[in-house]
């Protein structure tokens, strides 16, 4: 099945099975390997990407269901790692193994896009379900708070 997507700002047409998860279309067909496979059941958040700006678990989203839509992967958030979240992740030493971090950053970017000044509770709610085996949750939340505190109210993510 032919699926047309705008991936990281670039129009792409891919030929995939109707039920192929977006994750595998991104990783195997488009060769964008920053998005990770975690559980395959939308429980861990490692596969989080943006579809039209909203955080979506790509492991359970059929590529065919997002035809014609805009997809942003971790590679498209900022090609040079200059996104404020990416910079703060480095500054605060958030990752340990790093495997879940693309999904964590994509979830956080979606939150900050919708809520420029999230409360601790809003951060907790938005990030709930993004699992970090290394347990860096406190640093993840600290990074989100730091970026939000330094973000102009009109800034785009």
Which CATH number does the domain housing residue 118 bear? 1.10.150.120
Residue 63: which domain range? 2-77
Give the residue from 53, 77, 101 where a domain finishes. Answer: 77
Give the residue from 50, 77, 104 where a domain finishes. Answer: 77
Are 61 and 103 part of one and the same domain?
no
126-143 pLDDT per residue, tens:
999 999 999 999 999 999
3-state secondary structure at position 76: helix
Asked if the structure places residue 155 within a domain, the reply is no
Asked if the structure places residue 154 within a domain, the reply is no
Mean pLDDT score across all residues of the chain: 95
Are 55 and 7 part of one and the same domain?
yes
> What pLDDT score was predicted for residue 78?
92
- For residues 72 and 83, what is the distance between their CA atoms, to the nearest angstrom? 13
Are 12 and 66 part of one and the same domain?
yes
């Amino acid at each position: 099945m032919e699926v047309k997507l705008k991936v990281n700002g670039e129009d792409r047409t891919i030929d995939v099975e109707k039920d192929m998860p977006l994750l595998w279309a991104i990783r195997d067909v488009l060769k964008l390997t920053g998005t990770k496979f975690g559980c395959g059941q939308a429980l861990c958040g490692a596969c989080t990407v943006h579809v039209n700006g909203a955080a979506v678990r790509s492991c359970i989203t059929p590529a065919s269901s997002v035809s014609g839509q805009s997809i942003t992967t971790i590679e498209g958030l900022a090609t040079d790692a200059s996104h404020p979240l990416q910079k703060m992740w480095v500054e605060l030493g958030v990752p340990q193994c790093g495997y879940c971090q693309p999904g964590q950053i994509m979830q956080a970017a979606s939150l900050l896009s919708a809520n420029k000044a999230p409360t601790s509770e809003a951060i907790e709610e938005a990030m709930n379900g993004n699992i970090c085996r290394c347990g860096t949750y406190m640093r993840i939340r600290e990074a989100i708070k730091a970026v939000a505190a330094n973000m102009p109210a009109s800034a785009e993510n």
